Structure 1
Amino acid sequence: MTLRIVHVVCSDGFAGVERHIAVLAPELARLGCEVVVIGGDGPRMRATLDPAGVAWFPASSRGEAARWLARLGRLSLVHAHMTEAELVAVATRTVHRAPVVATRHFAAGRGSSAAARWVGRRIEGRLAGQLAISDYVARESGGATWTVHPGVPVQESRVPAAERDRTVLVVQRLEPEKSTRTAVDAWARSGLAEQGWRLRLAGEGSERASIEKDVADRGLGDTVELLGARDDVAELMRGGGILLAPTPREGLGLAVLEAMAAGLPVVASASGGHDETVGAVTPDNLFAPGDAETAGRLLRERASDLARRERDGDLLQRHQQAAFTVRRQAQETLRAYQQVLA
């Protein structure tokens, strides 16, 4: 019997959670499921969902998501992402009559207040199961039944280290929790500007203006580019020299997975999901969260060692192809569904 699966997120954006769904849903469809997605930015979601025959409906609010769940009729399973979608999915279960599973994307429990935590406990008690995007998230969020690592598309080739640009890339939102200032500090300490390298920051956020001021105050303006939000991250990574990932509590790190797929060496904070990606094969490229001095030293050492960058890129790409593919993610997710339905 064909499983009829609905993924729901109460959002009209396209950040990490929405991208997670946009990658996973088409692969589940290729495995034989009938898949519907509710929520996320319409044009960007449909660009990946339409070719796989996955239907999409908008849901920028809980009410809109609830209305679509009520209209879809009988379902095999509802897969909710983030607390608002979880709340809608369990509240409408008398209508859709399907078990609800949730994916935990962040390394924290539900709710920042006593009332919100009470609601979170009520939600968790009505879930048929919970997936986590990493062992780290499973430990920190509590209650996860399975760890299912996200995957990214495989790239069969990579640009040799000798042909890559002399650039250090940072790909993330410019928000306080991402610790972009650590990246700028590490860049300043690395001394790579004097060797012809450049730092490129791809992403937008509330800290952009303050980061620009910090760069100017340090006299780094000629060597640092703030690229803003980009749709060509894959190309940036294909030609970049090193990815710097400073986030201290990263659930897993989609940008790191994309860098691994491209064979791009990664220097990352030794925390969160980075231990399960970069740390699994190139642990010497990790630095303590916030330790800009060590991060700068690692950047300097890797930049000066072409053979090491070539080796690291090869090891990371092989690890991605073995452990972090979209097909593997979909297969493990489907196994979780089958256990719930059994």
Structure 2
Amino acid sequence: MSPVDVAHVVCTEAFAGVERYVATLAREQDARGMRVQVLGGAPERMRAELAGGGVGWSPAATPWHAVRGLMALRGLRLVHAHMTAAESAAVVGARAPIVVTRHFAGRRGSTPPARLAGRVVARRVADQVAISSFVAQRIEGPSTVIHPGVRPQPAGAGGSREPVVLVAQRLEAEKRTDLALRMWAASGLAAHGWRLQVAGEGALLGELRRLAVELGVAGSCDFLGARADIADLMARAGVFLAPRPDEPYGLSVVEAMAHGLPVVAAAGGGHDETVGASPLATLVDAAEPDGAGAALAALAGDPGRRAAYGEDLRRLQRRQFTVAAHAARLEAVYRAAVLR
């Protein structure tokens, strides 16, 4: 195996927001001349996402697998760990400086043993990065805020917009897709020919289907399941809806911005730092679905406003939320960690 400059560790067999972030960053770092290894993530999806470049990949479903994978690497200069299990594995298996990215807005450990492990991790970490100021304010210790980025999309990709409100996220409790359904019901947009498309899978699918029936909107809601064509959906949709008020960052929101897709987002969390940076932002109170639904309907019913807002979000993404800028700022963190 060739020497490795940085190994990204994520102890999962999934491909959700964190794993997608790791794959995107690893490809960018590879393009910038770094020798990169990724440990963990859904095998088939990670291989597909990393194909065509020089990024190495190996499975790491558990911390033990990650420890073994790290110990097998030679010439390793730095470990970049993502989430608590990967941090613990890095402490045990790495003989190199450790940088961690904090993806969630909370302190390490929900039990006394976990909190003890968190203190051990904190002593070994050279630096930690927070994906938003919202996260940085809610974790222990100092951190460097570096907003993740996405790749710009060509203007006009996908042609004309369709009367579709798109939600793209895991169907789990913390993502608050139920709020999206309540906003949709309150908007009355179904009566004007619009549809709600929900892309994603998760444990709450059945519960959300039942809620759609209770709200009287089942006939206008399309539950699409897991999709590999989210970019195409974003290129065609009329509005993107992000309902979680305490979203740590919201990478899908930034992807929507790249597509020039106007976003209605719950105020709070990372949304205030992404969409909220636009003077045209539509941020709503998720606790007031009637008002949020009215705001959604007002935006959907004004094509000129939607076009102007979408283009402003596209410009904002290209100016502040690119993968290249994110990787460049991380390089400075890496250099400081290696020199300590």
TM-score, L = length of structure 1: 0.95
Give unmatched runs, 5+ long, in structure 2: none
- Name the residue aligned to 2:110: 112
Aligned residue runs from structure 1 range 23-38, under 5 A: 23-38=24-39
Per-residue CA distance 1:114-141 (angstroms, 9 max, x = gap): 2211211221111000011111111112
- Name the residue aligned to 2:268: 271
Name the CA distance, whole Å, in 2 between partners of 1:52 and 1:99.
25
Name the CA distance, whole Å, in 1 between partners of 2:151 and 2:298.
30
Offset of residue 51 of structure 1: 1.4
Equivalent pair of 1:27/1:326 in contact (CA under 8 Å): yes
Name the CA distance, whole Å, in 2 between partners of 1:234 and 1:135.
27
Per-residue CA distance 1:246-299 (angstroms, 9 max, x = gap): 012111101101100000000001111000111110464001233212210111
- Name the residue aligned to 2:126: 128
Name the CA distance, whole Å, in 2 between partners of 1:261 and 1:204.
23
RMSD: 1.5
Name the CA distance, whole Å, in 2 between partners of 1:240 and 1:283.
19
- Name the residue aligned to 1:245: 242
Name the CA distance, whole Å, in 2 between partners of 1:43 and 1:165.
32
Name the CA distance, whole Å, in 2 between partners of 1:81 and 1:302.
37
Offset of residue 3 of structure 1: 6.7
Equivalent pair of 2:185/2:216 in contact (CA under 8 Å): no
- Name the residue aligned to 1:212: 209
Which of 210, 230, 239 matches 2:227? 230
Name the CA distance, whole Å, in 1 between partners of 2:156 and 2:277.
20
Matched, 1:254 2:251: yes
* Range moving further from structure 2, 37-46 or 99-108: 37-46
Give unmatched runs, 5+ long, in structure 1: none
Aligned residue runs from structure 1 range 96-111, under 5 A: 97-111=95-109
Offset of residue 328 of structure 1: 0.9
Per-residue CA distance 1:196-230 (angstroms, 9 max, x = gap): 11111111111110111111222212111111111
Report SS of the residue matched to 2:12. coil
**Aligned-partner residue type, residue 219 of structure 1:** G
Offset of residue 176 of structure 1: 1.3
Which of 194, 199, 204 matches 2:191? 194
Equivalent pair of 1:271/1:289 in contact (CA under 8 Å): no
Per-residue CA distance 1:11-41 (angstroms, 9 max, x = gap): 1111111111100011111112111111111
Which of 137, 140, 155 matches 2:138? 140
Report SS of the residue matched to 1:170. strand
Name the CA distance, whole Å, in 1 between partners of 2:70 and 2:109.
24
Percent sequence identity is 46
Equivalent pair of 2:158/2:235 in contact (CA under 8 Å): no
Aligned residue runs from structure 1 range 1-342, under 5 A: 4-93=5-94, 97-158=95-156, 163-282=160-279, 284-342=281-339
**Aligned-partner residue type, residue 130 of structure 1:** Q
Report SS of the residue matched to 1:169. strand
**Aligned-partner residue type, residue 162 of structure 2:** D
Query: Would you say how many aligned residue pairs link Structure 1 and Structure 2?
Result: 337
Name the CA distance, whole Å, in 1 between partners of 2:4 and 2:141.
25
Name the CA distance, whole Å, in 1 between partners of 2:17 and 2:89.
20
Offset of residue 144 of structure 1: 4.1
* Range moving further from structure 2, 210-219 or 152-161: 152-161
TM-score, L = length of structure 2: 0.96
Offset of residue 156 of structure 1: 2.1
